[in-house]
Amino acid sequence: MLEVEGTTNQVEVHEQAILSHAKAVIDACRSPEEMQEAVLAAVNRNEEWRGKRCLNLLAPEALTSPTVRGLLSAEVGTRAAEGHIGPINRWFAGTQHIDEIEALCIELLKKAFRSRYADHRLVASMIGNLAVYTALTEPGDIIMSLTQPFGGHSSNRVDGPAGVRGLKIVDIPFDPVELVVDIDLFRKVAPLVRPKVVALGASIRRSTPTGFDSWRSVSRSIA
């Protein structure tokens, strides 16, 4: 929403037809109970179609065990436990068993990865990439990343953390036919723009960058 000289310009980013249908459904409900039933019905339709009839190939949606599914609705999932493990490091009381659970998670991770340190707190791509850009760049720096149509993630684009950080974004050259990065064109463009970071992540669709020796040689030449 953008306010200019007392007027308000509203831009809806969601598809209006779908929102209009949802509004019609809610408006047709005669009670809060019917509104709840409408939402639950939509959830059940998704479970029937996406969960039982579709072949899901998105890595973050890997199948989970009944135990994991059960834990998603566990009582502990509704509790806040800001801070770190231990009573003097928490902002809330009543977390002694949460401390126990989180400590078990940490020790399991350390054992699984054979490491001396582990952090069980999940960091999604948006927050994770924001942390990286904050550490490695300054506002106004140039980065190169893949566009979304070719598999790039929005966290590396103007509408994500890279844009929030105030970075100037140049597209990594991409061959739309072979669905691979155009290394030769990248070799020409990169020295001209001299990016501070080159983000090779491709998660929206499968377009995995190849030729890492070439990437490395170009990156070293502009470092």
- pLDDT at site 223: 65
| 151 Rama sector, left if φ>0, alpha if ψ -120 to 50, beta otherwise | left
Query: What is the CATH code for 125-222?
Result: 3.40.640.10
Is the model's pLDDT at 3 over the cut of 50?
no
pLDDT at 7 over 50: yes
The strand ranges marked E within 91-183 are 142-145, 168-171, 174-175, 180-181
Tokens of 51: 């969960």
Least confident among 8-12, 61-65, 115-119: 8-12
Please state the domain extents for the chain.
11-52, 59-113, 125-222
Burial 175-203 (b: 16+ CB within 10 A, else e): eeeeeebebeebeebbeeeebbbbbbbbb
Q: State pLDDT tens for residues 67-98.
A: 988 898 899 988 888 889 998 888 888 999 99
Angle between helices 32-46 and 16-28 (to 10 degrees): 130
Find tokens 């996406």 and name the residue: 50
Please state, in angstroms and rounded to a whole number, the distance separating the CA atoms of residues 13 and 24: 19
Which two three-digit tokens encode residue 88?
């003097």
CA atoms within 13 A on the CB side of 204: 14
pTM (predicted TM-score): 0.59
Contact assessment for residue 148 and residue 154, using Cβ atoms and an 8 Å cutoff = yes
61 pLDDT above the threshold of 50:
yes
